[in-house]
């Protein structure tokens, strides 16, 4: 497996947060970077830094196909794909609108899967490539009020594990990045979700209020949260390493929570959730 892809790097969801930081870190490292977003006008800063920019909506087959074909027409293949686009639709299992959940799955899971399908044939022909999926510590355990979002990240875990063992024979490496709390504004989107915000009229009002308080407190605590640059550094490592790891956990707090859930089992985890979420 080559120490780094010889083709360009395609990064999704670059308008802000992890995608923006990742594209910039890869540019700084000398990679050819295609920074993409649904609204390409949000990418002017990256374009000024030397990124090639494209419109790419991971819920649109046409948009994904056009973007990949454009890169392949110029370079022959995508050298590395960073599947970063995603968001959180929060709320209790009972109350969350399933149409909104389906839309989230289209972005977080099916878009990731389809874009991966589109870049793989040329990678196989070249005998090299990298796929880096941005998952979450939330693919290894579940907080109440985040069940549907966690479900998308559990799905990304499964897809990444299967894909890694399917494509390594073709010289393609697959890594999953599992960030903890990253200060990107993610929590604002999550807390404004319809079911998560409807506290007053909900039988889960106390739980929703506790969840909102814990979320704000966690992201605001710089001892347990980190900036998006911390994820960008790990993505670069996964792309450039001659022997990329299957998983990279980002932040000490995320490692501690994953270990607690894995080693302590469901009973201990449930006790922690009762204490943290008041019930």
Residue 149 falls in the annotated catalytic set? yes
Cα(277)–Cα(271) distance, integer angstroms: 10
The residues near 203 (Cβ < 8 Å, ≥ 6 apart) are none
Cα(25)–Cα(51) distance, integer angstroms: 11
Q: Which of 34, 90, 148, 149 is catalytic?
A: 149
Cα(94)–Cα(144) distance, integer angstroms: 12
From the centroid of its chain, how far is CA 50? Answer: 24
Enumerate the active-site residues.
149
């Amino acid at each position: 497996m080559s120490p780094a892809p010889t083709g360009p790097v395609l990064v999704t969801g670059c308008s802000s947060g992890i995608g923006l930081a990742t594209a910039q870190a890869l540019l700084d490292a000398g990679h050819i970077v295609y920074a993409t977003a649904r609204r390409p006008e949000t990418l002017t800063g990256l374009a000024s830094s030397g990124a090639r920019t494209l419109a790419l909506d991971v819920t649109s087959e046409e948009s994904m196909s056009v973007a990949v074909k454009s890169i392949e027409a110029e370079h022959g293949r995508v050298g590395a794909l960073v599947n970063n686009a995603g968001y959180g639709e929060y709320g209790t299992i009972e109350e969350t609108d399933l149409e909104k959940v389906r839309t989230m799955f289209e972005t977080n899971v099916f878009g990731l899967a389809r874009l991966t399908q589109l870049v793989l044939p040329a990678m196989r022909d070249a005998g090299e490539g990298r796929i880096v999926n941005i998952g979450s510590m939330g693919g290894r355990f579940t907080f109440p009020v985040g069940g549907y979002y966690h479900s998308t990240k559990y799905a990304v875990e499964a897809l990444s594990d299967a894909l890694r063992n399917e494509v390594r024979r073709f010289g393609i490496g697959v890594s999953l990045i599992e960030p903890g709390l990253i200060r990107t504004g993610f929590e604002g989107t999550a807390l404004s979700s319809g079911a998560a915000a409807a506290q007053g009229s909900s039988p889960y009002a106390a739980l929703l209020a506790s969840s909102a308080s814990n979320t704000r407190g966690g992201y605001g605590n710089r001892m347990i949260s980190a900036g998006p640059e911390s994820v960008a550094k790990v993505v670069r490592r996964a792309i450039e390493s001659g022997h990329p790891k299957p998983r990279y956990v980002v932040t000490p707090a995320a490692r501690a929570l994953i270990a607690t859930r894995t080693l302590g089992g469901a009973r201990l985890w449930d006790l922690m959730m009762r204490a943290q979420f008041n019930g």
